[in-house]
Structure 1
Amino acid sequence: MTAMSGSAARSGPAEPPQAVDPADMEQTGPPPGQDAAELCEQARDLAESGHVARAAALYRRAAATGPGPRTLARALLGLAVTEDQRGDTAASREAARRAVATGDARYAPRAAYHLALSLEQGGEQEEAERTWLRLLDLGGAAYTAVARYGLARAAEARGDAAAAEEHWEAALSLPPDPSAMDRLHAATVVEAARDLAGRLLERGLPGAAVAAAERGLAVTDDPGLRLARAAARLEHAVADLGAILERDPEETGGRAEPGTAGAAVEILSGLLALRGDPPSAHQVWRRGLEDPDRDTAAEVRRRLRLGFASQEREGTPPWWDPYLEEAVATVSAPALAGELFAALTQMHSLLALPLAEGEQDPARLRAAMHQALLTPSDLVWGPDLHADFRRRLGAAAGRDVLPQGWPDHS
């Protein structure tokens, strides 16, 4: 494909575990006069300050005090997040499972989300999918979209296209007033739209990719979605331009006019180069230049040479024209320019040094000039440079005055 691809699932809290000092070690026994809610507040402050080990210990003690369902769910969610930050995946998942089991309307969905992402990223797809289904039952439009997005990824992973399509559709469904969506719901729709657009582009379905991107753009003006839509439209343009050049005269009522075909070659080649496919761009130019219709081939060549300086002498193009044409057609003009500047720099150095040092020995001056002349010899265009000088000198002298193999074997 192109520049787009399906994005990976979002991760849970990603801060690395902090180093643990002796003060971070778990204490035994609940502190006198503190209830579970107070412990959760303290744990949250510690976690935000980077003391995740001490925070995990307080969340664990808060859960052990036997609080009500809401505080228990909060403590277990906090424990799941901090254990994840510490790198203890098993403990994190166990705490998340316990939080989900409380069924609390506020914290259980968050715990299910955290657990499902952890399982998905760990390759445990079956349990991840069961957790996404559980999240569907926990309520709320935002978490419904989150769950549907997860289920769409799961269906894609197991190759169930029908189920994936159903879940993508549900994940991208918008309420009557998209501006009333909460942040989680909006962010989920945008991310799902980017993901789906990339997958559709990979499958060669640019029209569907544009539609997916526009559903996300209905929520917010996201640069990633605009890029996805532009990439999809580029693929549309490539297909349309290719259809112009592949017309069968017997089936479509005639070939494209030379001006239309020439423009199609120029634009298609440019789009293919932009897409990162220089060989295909070159092939398009080459086929246009070799078109059996002389008018079309002439129009293609005219467009290929639009940026060339007019340096023809007596109707004969300069010797370097074929190299310029090839450089444009193969999207290698920067490489050719680099070769030219490198050769010019080397020739300048070889000639400038004796001049700067005031060299007067004819043999050394001649040797410097010879080395400068030899500089382009190993480059693909070097022999033609030498041959052009031989022709011009011979025309001026009325005969070929240079020895064979000059200047390499002079």
Structure 2
Amino acid sequence: MQSSRPASPPRLDDPAAATLCSQARDLAEAGHADRAAELYERVVADAGPRYRAQAALGLAVVRDHLGDTAGARQADETAIAAADPEFSPRAAYHLALLCEKEGDSDAAARAWQTVVEFGNQRYLGAAHHGLARLAEARGDDETARSHWQYALNAADPQTVADAARDCARRLLERGAAAEAAEVLARGLAAHDTPDLRLLLGAVRVEQAIAEFDTALAQQPADPHDTAVARELLARLLAVRGDSATAERVWYDGLTHDAPQTAAEVRARLRRGFLTPDPDVAAETGEAAFWWDPYLEAAVASDTTPMLAGELFAALSRIYALLAQADSAARADAALAAALQVVDDYVWGAALRDDVHAQTGRTTTDLD
């Protein structure tokens, strides 16, 4: 039977190891990563457990900076094996992030679990945060929920805020706005940050959308209330980026069975539209502009900037063509060419008809 021998005493005493670690850290911060790695390697080889763990963690960070991921992971494992209450869980934390960056989810989960097992309160919340993300990624919602709860009750306020941000985002993506609001309230109570406030605003938009949708489903008796709910719902949907649903909400209001409700909705859709001069309308018999239906459609579908862009582009081309007419003989040809500019636009035919009406000439006269 082979006899066991006691471990060799460290060749570096603690003061010397501490000095080398400090020098290595200074070198790394100054950009001398290779020299820093040499000093850390010496401490790892010759120091006791406390400074071996510290140096191995420093070596892992340096190797990661140099692009040696495999070497960094090995150094982290060395630091973890030293079982130091401070630097070993920090090394497991670093290892978990390295593994996540490489897409090695299983190794990352093992590293996060190692952090949990060390029981250092400074890193427990972050570890549960990492385990929650990984559990969600593999579809284990129940395990993820348990880890989220641990992370949201961490001792470190920043950890709670980070966990609240990520958890709320995931809940919001699943449409669980009420749960997301509760999570954000816990995060904000721990550490009030702009990103949490931004998410809370997004959550409230989703909640408002749900409330207006429910109100419409209950069919308000007052046409004014119905129109208000439709307008706010449509505009919030457009803000969310769901322009197709917003357009449908407007359209359902414009074609409502109750004429008064449809009129109220149209009035809200047309807020800010140009109003025809009453005197001109009396002379021409036209109570509305020919372009109003296109503006209404653009507002309903949240494409007003696109319509404005089309119009300015078309006008620019039209005026360029008209500017080429230097005689009366060429004026009609220039006008005909200018009108062809709008052929590809939805509103092009209406514009041509209006020009023909204004000039008193037909399409044949101008072709």
Confirm or deny a common fold (TM above 0.5): yes
Q: How is 1:148-297 mapped onto 2 (pairs within 5 angstroms)? A: 148-173=128-153, 185-247=156-218, 255-297=220-262
What residue in structure 1 maps to residue 270 of structure 2?
A: 305
Q: Tell me which amino acid in the other structure corresponds to 1:38.
A: T
Matched, 1:133 2:113: yes
Shift of 1:125: 2.5
Aligned to 2:334: 368
Name the SS of the counterpart of 2:52 in structure 1.
helix
Bigger relative CO (Cα 8 Å, ≥ 6 apart)? 1
Instruction: Specify whether residues 141 and 194 from structure 1 end up closer, same or farther in structure 2 by C-alpha distance, changes over 3 A only.
Output: same
Give the alignment's TM-score, normalised by structure 2. Answer: 0.88
Describe the shift of the 1:193–1:332 C-alpha distance in structure 2 as closer, same or farther (beyond 3 A). same
What TM-score results when the alignment is normalised by the length of structure 1?
Answer: 0.79
How much does 1:112 deviate?
Answer: 1.0
Larger deviation: 285-294 or 152-161? 152-161
Counterpart for residue 81 of structure 1:
61
Q: Which amino acid letter does the alignment assign opposite residue 111 of structure 1?
A: A
Aligned residue in 1 for 2:314: 343
Residue 40 (structure 1) aligned with residue 5 (structure 2): no
The alpha carbon displacement at 1:403 in A equals: 4.2
1:71 aligns with 2:51: yes
- Is contact 2:356–2:363 with CA below 8 Å preserved after alignment? no
Is 1:383 aligned to residue 349 of structure 2? yes
- The Cα shift of 1:220 comes to 2.3
Measure the CA separation in 1 of the matches of 2:16 and 2:173.
54
Contact 1:262/1:296 (<8 A) preserved? yes
Structure 1 residue 81, shift from structure 2 partner: 0.8
The answer as to whether partners of 1:244 and 1:256 remain within 8 angstroms in 2 is no
Kindly indicate whether the alpha-carbon contact (under 8 Å) linking 2:224 and 2:261 is maintained by their aligned counterparts in 1: yes
2:99 corresponds, among 95, 100, 119, to 119
Structure 1: stretches of 5+ with no match in the other structure: 1-29, 176-184, 248-253, 395-401
Per-residue deviation, 1:111? 0.5
Q: Name the SS of the counterpart of 1:308 in structure 2.
A: coil
Distance of 1:330 and 1:383 partners within structure 2: 21
SS at match of 2:323: helix
1:37 is aligned with what amino acid?
A
Deviation per residue, 1:62-107 (Å, 9 max, x gap): 1111x12211111111111111111111211111111112221221
SS in structure 2 of the partner of residue 316 of structure 1: coil
Residue 392 of structure 1: how far off its partner (Å): 5.2
- Aligned to 1:260, what secondary structure does the other structure show? helix
Kept after mapping to 2: 8 A contact 1:245/1:256: no
- Per-residue deviation, 1:364: 3.4
What is aligned with 2:291?
Answer: 320
Question: Contact 2:86–2:120 at 8 Å: present in 1 too?
Answer: no
8 Å contact 2:109–2:134 — kept in the other structure? Answer: yes
Cα RMSD between the aligned structures? Answer: 2.2
Q: Kindly, what percent of the aligned residue pairs are identical?
A: 47
Give SS of 1:218's match: helix
1:365 deviates by 4.1
What secondary structure, in the 3-state scheme, does the structure 2 residue paired with 1:271 have? helix
Q: How many residues align?
A: 349
Structure-1 separation of matches of 2:110 and 2:341:
70
Aligned mates of 1:392, 1:345 — CA distance in 2: 20
